[in-house]
Structures are given as C-alpha cells and as structure tokens.
Structure 1
Amino acid sequence: MNDFPEKVKQKLHSIMTEISEHHWLFSKNPKHDFMRQNTGKLSLYDTMHLILTMGKGNTSDEIIDYFDLDYDAIPTNSAFIQRRNQIMLSAFEYLFSEFSSSFPEITRKFKGHSILAVDGTHVCYTTNAQITEDYSKPHRSSEKGYNHMHLNALVDALSKVVIDAVIQPGQQSNERGAFHSMLDHFTPEDPSKYILTADRGYESYDLIFHCESRKLSYVFRVKGPQVTGSILSSFKSDLPDEQEEFDVIVRRFLTDKKNTIIKKQTDVYIYMNPSKNIPHFYTLLGNNHVYVLQLRVVKIKTGEDSYEYLISNLPYDPFSSEDMKWIYHFRWNCEVSFRYLKHAAGMLYFHSKKPEFIKQEIYASLTLYNFGMFIANAASDENQKKKRNPDNKYIYEIDFSNTIKTVRKYLLHKDFGKPVDLIRLVMKYVHAVKEEFRHFERHLRSVGAICLNYR
C-alpha cells in the first residue's frame, strides 16, 4: 500500500498541531482565547480542521458530520462561531503556505522547467450593500448587485498546485500589484528553472523588470503593436508584422534620462519616466542610467484574421516557437484550478456572511485543494505505470474533481483499524481523455452567490 497519502495527512496534522500549541500567536486575544482548549469541545485544532473539511451542507450538518453523531462531543453553532471568531486570519494563511510548500517533488517539468501561471477570479458571497469595498452595484435598476472578493493565485501549471494566493477587495482589485506581491514571496533556490506565464491583463514594463531582476523567465501574452499603449508599439519598426507568424528578437536601451539624442533615436532608446510606478527598473539600472532590454516576440495565427502576440526572455535553444505556444497554452490550467477550487473544493459554498470568515474558508479551500492535487498527481504517476490495453479507444486519466471530494472524506475518516489505500481508491475513478472537444457558444450569465438558505 502506498503510504504517501498518510505522509501528506500527517504533515497537515503536524502544522495544525503546531498552530494549536502556539495558539497565542494566532489568537485575537492571546491572554484569553484558547487558554482552556484541552477541556472544551472545540480546540483551535478542531476548529481549523472543521473549517478545512466543510462541504456543501449548512453549519449544523458539517458539525454533526465532523463529530460523527456523538451527542456529548457536538458543540452548538454559537460555540463554533465564537471559536472561529477568536482565530486570526494569519493562522489559515500560515497553514496554506506551510502545507503547500512541503511537497516540491510533486512539481512537474517542461524541458526541465516548472511553469507557473498567474490569474485572478471572482469569489462571490452573500449580497450585502453595506460592505462597499466588495459590493458591485447593478448597472440597471432591474438587476441585482452582488458581493465578491478577488482571489489572485500563482499556480504550478503542470501539477495544478496553488503556490501562492492573495485576496483583495472585489471593488479594489489590482492583479498586477498582487502579482508583484507573489513574486516577492517566491524565493526558489534556482530561479532559472522557472517560467512565469500570464495573460494580457498583466502587460507592464514593471512586471518585466521584476522578472528580469529576479532572474526569472517569462512568457506573457500582450496586445498587438498597432494597439496604443501596447509594449510592442515601441518596437513596431522592428517587427515583420506583414507576416502571418514570426519569431524575432528585438532590443532597446531603456533609460531614466531624457536628452536630445534619446528624443531623436526612438528606435534605439525608450525613456522610462521616473514619476511612473516602475520601482523595479531602478534595481536593474544599478549605478548606470541605461539597461538593455532584449525581448523575444512571437506572433501566432489563431484564426482567419486573428493573431496573438507573446513576449519572452527565453532563448531559442531549447525553446522553439512551438514550445512557446505550449507554455502559454499551459496558462489555461490556472482557470482549470479555479474551476476545481470552486466546484470540488467548495469555494462556492460558504457558511457565513462575514468577510473575515469568508477569507478563512477561502484559505481552507486552497489547502484542501492542494491536498487533493498532491494525491491526484501521485495517483496519476501510478496510473501511467499501468500497461495500456491497445484496444482502448481513449487514454484514461485520474478524475481530479472526484479526488478532491474523496480527500475531504479521508480527512474526516475515523481510524477503525483498517487502513485506507487512498491511491488505489482514487485510481478506481478515471475518465477518458478525448482529443476532439465540443465547440459551442459561451452563454454569459449573471454573477451571484449560492444562498445559505436550505443548505
């Protein structure tokens, strides 16, 4: 029996035990909260573990399931709410951060590199117009407003594990700022073995400067050179845009000085205005006033009259134009992760209307999701070792959604002497990988939270 799931479970247990033992560091009132947790029904450990394993049911259902119908052990809803109100959000942030960084061997590679994708998503919760930082007003009187937070995530695109996350108010979201924060948190031993990829919303010189200063590779999708405000508009004269596809290197001298020569030679120099928010540029300049920026620009034809542009600092060897397309294609796994987070890990089904409690459950969902992905990736490795029947029409892979739901049950499982072979259990549920996908028109619908009533 594969003992990897038990190792993952024990790691999660040890981190929550550490938090519980140092409860004064994670309590709002250190001299009072959780001082007698060993004699009450809800310790700090149990409170966090309960929030971590919550499903789609209401709070009462989840408490009854957690304590396995034990009348004497089950606390009241009020007691549970009081307990979770005593916990600082930093406890859940610490749990997510420590647990997510505990299993780096799960990370998959593309030509010896890990690919990290960044993106953001709305997390909707019960409408409350009084919370102005999260409340989105309706455009029409017939429509209904909604409340949401903005979750920014840095995802390992090949293993689908969430590396880092930043939660922002829904009406004050700043995806570029969140990306900068996550880059500051990211301190790998060998930065050259990581490639960052992002969509057009992250197009900015300062993010390029940040990656360059950290020795990180990147592949960013950007607007075309004909679009005002695009990074490529400064390189328009160097790009063979009459071609349907190309892969070229362009260079410019970036400077914070402005004189007659720089004004005249715009095909050589780009002036960086010091008053603009480009703090990472000065890290690159050092004691000089000039920095040479070299960009690899790839144009891709995606339709009859549709083109996309990628910029990167990756070398031609070993990364071909086709590799560049694949690297950006892997960015979509960030969107896939958000789907699993919401529909499988339960980041749609909140058990409170209070923003602080919502954030607790978001970090709990992220932790549960990563637990599921660690197990799913390990099961996927075992599944690939099996001999494939040549008569099978399709290749079958692990059902990630089912794995995350099974992991929740595994965390709630009481030990009755018979161990759970979780890897074999997960491998039992697979689905066919079909190369041809259905193409259909996307139907947009209004945004809203899943109501607490009758759950």
Structure 2
Amino acid sequence: MKQILCDIFNKLYKFIVEVSTNENLRNTYIVKANPLDKSRAFSRNRIWNFELLARAVMFSSKVTLDAGLVEFFTSTRMPPTSKEAFIKRRALVSPKFFRDTGHYLVSTARGSRLLKTWIGDKFLANIDGTRISLPYTKELYSKYRQRDDKGHNLARMTVITDSLNKIIISAGMVPNNTEERKAALSLLRDEPFPYPLDKTIFTMDRGYPSLYLMNWFHENTAGFIIRSRRDSNPQISQFMDSDEMEKIITIELSKNRRDIEYERPEPLKVRVVKLPPRPGQIEPVVIMTDLMDAGAYPTECIYDAYNKRWSVETIIGMEKNELQIELFSGNRECCILQDFYAAIIMFNMGMLTKIVADQKIADSNSRKKLKHGYQTDLNAEWVLIRELLLVLNRPRSKIAGFLTLIVNYCVRHTSVIRPGRHQPHIKRCIKTDGKYITIQ
C-alpha cells in the first residue's frame, strides 16, 4: 500500500511540474487579462517560479505566513525573499489551480487500489455545509457581507466527502446568503467533480430535501439517500404517523412552495423507509431514496449509509479546529481561496497516509488481545505531511523513504478508539475579525 501511496504523491508532483513548465497549461491559471501578460508572468528565471510558489502556498496553509515562509526558505535552501515579493507573485496564480490540483489528487487516489467502495462497487459520498469567518475588509464586504455589527464577513462552505475513506472529494466557498441546496448543486453541476457521478451515491441530512435536487440526483448520479422532515411533504407526515415501515410514494411539488427557485420539477417516485426514533427523540427517522431495489439495498444498508453521513461532520470539525481553515495568510479573496483549497489538499494527503498507517496498525494489533482499537494520531501526522510537501521534488526513492518514516511514526504514536465517547467542545479564542489565534 505504501508503494501505491508513493505513486499517488509522485503523480501529484508531476502534475504541478507539468503546469509549471507547460506555458499553454500554465496560462490557464494566470490572473491576467492580456494573453501577452500571461506569457510573461513566469517566463523569466525568478526565485519564485510557479512550482515553488505552489508548494509554498500549500506548505504555509497551517501556520502564519511569516512562520511558513521562514521554514520553507530554510528547508528548501532557497535564498530568502521578502514577504511582499511572495505576496505579489502569488496574486498572479488563480485559486482554481489549487482546486484542480486537489481534484487531481483525489482522481489519482480513486484510480488506485487504495480506496474502498460500497455496495455494487459504488462510492458513498456525503454533502454538508458550514459557515466560515472571513477577515473584515472592504473588498470582501462587497461580496461576503454580513451584519455590520458582526465585525467579520461570513462565507458558506459546502463539503462533499467520501464516507468510507474519509477524504474530501470536493469543496466550495460562496457568500453566506447563498441557499445551501443551491451551493451544493452548483458544486456538482458547474465545477469538475473528481468521482464519476454515475458511480456515486450521495447522502444528505434534513436540510437538503428538494424535489428539483432529487430529480437532478436521480437523473445524473447513482442515487441519493436523504433524511426527510415531517413538514417537507404531506405524504411524509402521513407515513410518519402510519404503522408502515417502508413504502413507495410519488413526491409532487406543493402549490405553495418554490423549489430553490428553479423551473418546476417533475414528480418523482421514491422509496421511503422508517427507522425507530433516535435516543432523546420522539419522532421516527424517515429516509427517502431512489434506490428502489430492496434486495440489493435492504433497509439496514440504507440506515447504515445514512449513519456514515456523520463522517462529514467530523471532517468539517477537523478542518475548522485542527487545520484551522479560517486562518488565512492574506486578506484578499485570491489569497483566501488559495489557502482554502491548499488546506484541503493537505487534509487529503494526511487522510490517504492515514489509510496506509491504520492498515499497518490493524495488522500489527490483529494478534494481540486489546481492549480498544487504535488509529493514527492525526495531530502528529499533520506536521509530517507539511514536511512531505518539501520532499515532493526529490527522487521517487526519497519520497518512498519519507513515507515509510511517516507510516512508522504513526504506528508508534497512536490514539485509542473509544466508540460513543463524548467530550465537551473547547472553543478557541477568536479575534474580532473572526480568525483563530494559532500557537506558533
């Protein structure tokens, strides 16, 4: 598995180099209106070439810019430059480069034998969203404005994750006043998606039921699994109060409802399953799906798939609290989006490495009689993943050796898995502009 992981990271670096050296490809990621200016942007032999700039942005995504640049200069043995020079050069690179680099990493991992699949060799994906605090600047206020007395701007982050492999498939950031279902649909329909839609089943929580959205998933993907609220449809309310545990119904748009402001959707036949109320709740859980084959997808599998949706909540928590995705190295929108996508690349590199390390931990502990299971300690791994970004330009044998070092370190430094354990959330101190205070 380590060789597969080495191949994935080696291909990732080759993608960065190909964009850096291919002028036509590189120009698609240069923020210049004039084609001649695009060609000149990285044509001269400067210290900050495209490849070094890309790695420096990803390397600095977890720390403040000053600390990240000093460490990057020292580790790569490149002559130090001013922070202003770095900021000026990074403004030439479109954030879409980091988005596409992250998509390339996920696509490469999907094409390997590293990732697990669900029933029928399908991928199981989750969709959810959260709010991100942004710096309070005039430029951002014109697009991401919230209330004036908040002292900061807000964006809506939409995340699509892999339920079984715990990686982020795709993510986007839009103004906070964007309706969450619109944001999710835009991320799937208007941007490249690293997984084949016809082999991906999507799970969503109660905020996403929409007839138009369900029709789109039914026509373009392998299926959907959505938890429904009582007030989402009269038929759902009747089904909740009935003694039936499973039923096929046809959902129609209510005359009094607009369906996320799109054209009127067609009626859709769905399968609804009822599950017992969760602890502390009175009403049963009702899940809608277009997976009609009860033989291939029994009720237990539908319930299990919906339960796996919780992984997207923990991933969002890790992004916001451990990787501190709200700590940006600049105040301009281009810098914020670069950091946003760079943090996702770093997260996925860590989670792919975790898959290999967890397998080795499981193999090592399989012959032992242990009370609890063990897994990789992610807090220790993030530091090593940052260091991995520095050796990506070295020969394959060096990358393989460093990956062996990371995996062996993770095997020695593990954390205990205690299912059902709950700890109170410790809220970090937040500045007036909404960014976390990080310890350097």
TM-score w.r.t. structure 1 length? 0.81
Change (3 A) 1:111 1:406: same
Query: Which residue of structure 2 aligns with residue 300 of structure 1?
Result: 276
Describe the shift of the 1:253–1:431 C-alpha distance in structure 2 as closer, same or farther (beyond 3 A).
closer
Residue 312 of structure 1, aligned match among 270, 273, 289? 289
Report the secondary structure of 1:163's partner residue.
strand
The aligned length equals 419
Aligned partners of 2:45, 2:430: CA distance in 1, in Å?
48
Tell me the equivalent position of 1:359. 337
Change in CA separation of 1:299 and 1:129 when aligned onto 2, cut-off 3 Å: farther
For structure 1, the 5+ residue unaligned runs are 256-269, 283-290
Deviation at 1:443, TM superposition (A): 8.4
In the TM superposition, 1:33-72 aligns within 5 A as: 35=41, 39-68=45-74
Cα distance in 2 between the residues matched to 1:83 and 1:145? 29
Aligned equivalent of 2:119, options 108, 111, 121: 111
How far 1:201 sits from its partner (Å)?
Answer: 1.1
Moved more, 371-380 or 1-10: 1-10
For 2:67 and 2:387, locate their aligned partners in 1 and report how far apart those are by CA, in whole Å: 14
- Aligned match of 1:14: 14
| 1:229-240 to 2 correspondences below 5 Å | 230-231=232-233, 233-237=234-238, 239=239
Per-residue deviation, residues 188-244 of structure 1 (Å, max 9, x unmatched): 5572x43211111111111111111125221111111xx3xx13x13544x26154x
For the structure 1 residues 103 and 56, does the alpha-carbon distance in structure 2 shift closer, same or farther, using more than 3 Å as the test? closer
Structure 2 unpaired stretches of 5+: none
Structure 2 vs 1, CA of residues 428 and 72 (structure 1 numbering), >3 Å: closer, same or farther? closer
Deviation at residue 429 of structure 1 after TM alignment:
2.4
TM-score relative to the length of structure 2:
0.83
**Stretch of structure 1 that moved more, 382-391 or 48-57:** 382-391
- Corresponding position of 2:246: 248
Whether the aligned pair in 1 keeps the contact of 2:63 and 2:438 (CA below 8 Å) is no
Q: Using the alignment, how far apart are the partners of 2:345 and 2:203 within structure 1?
A: 23
Residues 292/324 of structure 1: CA separation in 2 closer, same or farther (3 Å cut):
closer
1:400-419 residue pairs with structure 2 within 5 A? 400-413=378-391, 419=401
% identical aligned pairs: 17
Distance 2:206 2:3 in 1: 43
Task: Tell me if the contact between 1:58 and 1:452 (Cα under 8 Å) persists in the aligned partners.
Answer: no
Larger RCO, structures 1/2 (Cα 8 Å, 6+ apart): 2
2-structure distance, mates of 1:441, 1:81 = 35
Deviations 1:132-169 (A, max 9, x none): 4323226xx6xx43222221111111111111222101
For 1:251, what is the secondary structure of its paired residue?
Answer: strand
Structure 2 partner of 1:32: 37
Structure 2 counterpart SS, 1:42: coil
**C-alpha distance in 2 between matches for 1:361 and 1:120:** 18
Query: Cα deviation per residue 1:250-308 (whole Å; 9 max; x = unaligned)?
Result: 323859xxxxxxxxxxxxxx7799998454836xxxxxxxx561322324311355223
- 439-448 vs 345-354, which deviates more? 439-448
Instruction: Say which one has the larger Rg.
Output: 1
Q: Structure 2 counterpart of 1:134, which letter? A: Y
**How far does the alpha carbon of each residue in 1:41-97 deviate from its partner, in whole angstroms, 9 at most, with x for none?**
100111111001115443222112112178861111111011011112222222122
Equivalent position amino acid for 2:180 in 1: E
User: Comparing 178-187 with 96-105, which one deviates more in the overlay?
Assistant: 178-187
Q: 1:343 and 1:19, CA in 2 relative to 1: closer, same or farther beyond 3 A? A: farther
What are the Cα deviations for residues 153-188 of structure 1, in whole angstroms up to 9, with x where unaligned? Answer: 111111111112221012x32221122223324485
Q: Which residue number corresponds to residue 130 of structure 2?
A: 121
Distance 1:186 1:180 in 2: 12
**Greater fraction of residues in helix:** 2
Residues 197 and 222, structure 2, Cα contact 8 Å, conserved in 1: no
